[in-house]
Structure 1
Amino acid sequence: MNHWKLTLSYDGTLFHGWQVQPELPTVQGSLALALKYVTGESVLPQGSGRTDSGVHALAQVTSFALETSIPPANLQRALNRALPPSIRILTAELVDESFHARHSARRKTYEYRIFERRTAASPSERICSPFLAPYAWDCRWQLAIEPMQEASKYLCGTHDFTSFAASDPERGLREEESDDANGKAHGPNPVKTLLQAGWAHEDGLLVYRVTGSGFLHHMVRNIVGTLADVGRGSLAVDEIPRILAARNRTAAGPTAPACGLFLHSVEYDPV
């Protein structure tokens, strides 16, 4: 068997997330179909994590094994011809059989993009371009970045993030990956470690970038929604420790829209 690692980028707007679902377009399902078309083999590529409906990826990682022997450049080229334009294979490489896109991941970085309709520098309301709207939260509030930056510091480190997990009782504590960073199955675990997080103005957008060893379902979007409440003045900076301690989704702010979220990158131990 030949063991493969692909890095891919996709526009999640028209997909019902990464994970294959019956009768619905998904990224995993589209890639599996393309692999079947190119190689004749039926495989289900494993992703580094599950992105939800409408969420994008700059560098998702997937792994799988094939009996077919094909040069990496040829596989990359053939898959990009077979896939819809909204999915592109950035790299294709052969790896050791011990590599697993999810189990081998050590840390992940997510990025969330906000288009600010109102800013201190712009007295009149700005209009979000229809070419940008699918890739950013068109936020109607004026946001102050300084308190948002201060509030985000409280979230770094190891905490129980139950308050920032999805409230659906069936999925709330579902992790984006079923195993931890060391590949050990442990079931739902709300204790996660955020290594770094912060806000910046980039290319006319307000961008939140967060790196951690693992994330719960909707965790980043719920953090962004809560920090936006801080930025618009409806929540005090020092309320974040109370929200964490509550271990209750109702204590935190709203869920930010899916369209602004990107899986930025996945890191692995050097080979």
Structure 2
Amino acid sequence: MASRPASANFLAPIIAETLLDRLTMVTRAFPRMLLIGAHDQTLADHLRATGSDLTIIEASPRLAAAVGALVVEADAVDLPLASFDLIVWPGGLDSVNDVPGALVRLRALLAPDGLLLGAFVGDGSLPRLRRAVMTDGVRPIARLHPQIDLAAMGNLLQRVGFTLAVVDVEALTVRYGDSFALVRDLRAAGLSSRLALAPPPLTREEAARIAASFAAQADSDGRIAESFRIVHFSGWAPHPDQPQPARRGSGTASLAAALKPSI
């Protein structure tokens, strides 16, 4: 369980640290790397420190100018095919307009045996806030963008041609004093609604009802524990030297025999 850090965009360093930990478990080198998003300088600095060629893309012109990134939307990347050995995407896949299309583009950008490694806030996150915005007296309007679940992400990676796909989830709990602090964090982390048609603003009465409903879910100390489910994913561009699954029906051991109790 984590207390809310002083920095509003608290998810960026948490995700960056986890991705770097996972990257250290990969023994091969990646000469050409693409980083999608410039929200954590430590992640960019670490990738640069490997001595590899690093390209950064960022949708925000302000952030792009600060780190020397290309101004590009993640689902509209137009770079040479097979030009990267590693693509790191530390958050944001769940908010693009065309998730399958974005993964198809990234698959095309990877050289054979290239790795895609990323994370995003997934399905099941923010249950208390979602419950609060559905309280009586608040217009039933979508105010948070849809979330991708674990099974859907695994299927997407396989459908667009990634091999050795791995998807898992890490639960993170952050405790808040009120709903306004949570909303500030969500906006800073880019997790507020990105729907094409922005919902109408809350009235003062609706905001008060949501705040009261959120506060009613507090623990005995008056703070509300909100949950974030961080979905981590990875997949490789196909290569002949990669491990291959056994051909269906090629097994020699009997499942019935394995399950038979020993005497």
TM range (shorter): under 0.3
What's the TM-score once normalised by structure 1's chain length? 0.24
Question: Larger strand proportion, structure 1 or 2?
Answer: 1
What's the TM-score once normalised by structure 2's chain length? 0.25
Question: Larger helix proportion, structure 1 or 2?
Answer: 2
Task: Please tell me whether Structure 1 or Structure 2 has the larger radius of gyration of its CA atoms.
Answer: 2
